[in-house]
Amino acid sequence: MKKILIQLDTDAHPSTFDAIVAHDAGVDELLRYGGIEPDAVRGLVQSAFFTRGPDDLSTLAVWVGGSSVGEGEEVLREVEKAFFGPFRVSAMLDSNGCNTTAATTVARLAREIDLNGRRVVIVGAGAVGLRAAKLLIDEGCDVTVSGIPAARFRDRAYRRAGGLTVAKERGMDIAEPADDEELKQVLDGASLVLAAGPAGVEVLPEAVWRTIDSIEVMADFNAAEPLGIEGTDAQDDLEEHDGKRVLGALAIGGPKMKVHKACVRRLFESNDAILDVDGIYEIAKELA
């Protein structure tokens, strides 16, 4: 029986990346959908249930992707709401690569350093940053999610991250530094710092991070220039810069791809895996 993945993508054109990696992970057939809105989900998912017996539902799975993590989360909720009785299939969310990126990065850090009790600042409150924050809190870190000083946005219009509000609602500590001086105060005492700003924004200038003695490790989610952490390299794989080890975004590219494929394969091992941030982190830790 062919392994069939239903690719629900919230963008108009479903991702080539997710499709190719699915094939490379052993999926036999992809049913690809673009422009998915939440109200289309129930019909597409429930129709799939009645094609094969309840005992064969592990041969079907749902993938949720697209560039908007918020829309993806809504779609995943609808996928789960479509389940009833024995009728359910495994599903995974990785809109914008948010979960595989956050999980692989934290798993890589957890292998390298003891996370428990560590003070962490995550600068930038986008979807990847919030997911990393959640995982680090679960690992026993003392996490602060920090906004990005307005001046860091250069010629871009300042967009106040709604993510800080979300972080607060989830009970996380937040900080809203107005400028680099205030950012330094937020960072003071942190041993682990993650740069999780939007693409194109340098969130940590050298003049800031070099002055913070407490920092031991920094990780950057940004792969393209300008990087999130000035003066580092996207390929840094815990290379030292001024005594601080740096994990660049490209250094986790290989492990992230392994995690991604392992997750897709896991979808077809049962019909009840929901691979959101926690499930993906478990797999990332096994592979790290």
Residue whose C-alpha is closest to residue 224's, from 200, 255, 197: 200
Comparison of 1 and 157: residue with beta carbon closer to a copy of itself: 1
Q: What is the CB neighbour count within 10 angstroms for residue 10? A: 25
Q: What is the side-by-side strand order in the sheet with 60-65? A: 29-33, 4-9, 60-65, 90-93, 274-275
Comparison of 21 and 92: residue with beta carbon closer to a copy of itself: 21
Comparison of 29 and 242: residue with beta carbon closer to a copy of itself: 29
Q: How far is the CB of 218 from a copy of itself (least distance, A)?
A: 23
Q: How far is the CB of 173 from a copy of itself (least distance, A)?
A: 34
Dihedral, CA of residue 17, residue 22, residue 23 and residue 28, to nearest 10: -140
H helix and E strand count, the chain: 10, 12
- Distance separating alpha carbons of residues 274 and 154, to the nearest angstrom: 40
Comparison of 180 and 233: residue with beta carbon closer to a copy of itself: 233
- Distance separating alpha carbons of residues 240 and 168, to the nearest angstrom: 33
In this structure, are residues 75 and 41 in contact, taking their beta carbons and an 8 Å threshold?
yes
Q: How far is the CB of 35 from a copy of itself (least distance, A)?
A: 8
Q: Which stretch binds a copy of itself (CB under 8 A): 39-47, 136-144, 164-172, 205-213?
A: 39-47
**Number of residues this chain uses to bind a copy of itself (CB under 8 A):** 32
Residue whose C-alpha is closest to residue 229's, from 180, 195, 190: 195
Six-digit token string for 44: 């597409």
Q: End-to-end alpha-carbon separation of the chain, Å?
A: 32
Q: Which stretch binds a copy of itself (CB under 8 A): 5-13, 122-130, 200-208, 265-273?
A: 5-13
Q: Which stretch binds a copy of itself (CB under 8 A): 25-33, 69-77, 117-125, 208-216?
A: 25-33
Comparison of 47 and 165: residue with beta carbon closer to a copy of itself: 47
Binding mask 144-183 for a copy of itself (x = CB under 8 A): ----------------------------------------
DSSP 8-state class, residue 87? B
Q: Which one of residues 38, 198, 231, 253 is an interface residue with a copy of itself (CB under 8 A)?
A: 253
Our finding on whether 205 is near a copy of itself (CB under 8 A) is: no
41-100 positions binding a copy of itself, by CB under 8 A: 43-45, 47-48, 50-52, 60
Q: Which stretch binds a copy of itself (CB under 8 A): 38-46, 202-210, 239-247, 276-284?
A: 38-46
Cα–Cα distances (Å) from 214 to 65, 191, 229, 237, in that order, read 38, 5, 16, 20
Q: Which stretch binds a copy of itself (CB under 8 A): 2-10, 107-115, 129-137, 179-187?
A: 2-10
DSSP 8-state class, residue 161? -
What is the C-alpha radius of gyration for the chain, rounded to an integer number of angstroms?
A: 20
Q: Which one of residues 10, 19, 203, 247 is an interface residue with a copy of itself (CB under 8 A)?
A: 19
Residues that bind a copy of itself (CB under 8 A): 1-2, 4, 6, 12-13, 15-17, 19-21, 23-24, 29-33, 36, 40, 43-45, 47-48, 50-52, 60, 253, 257
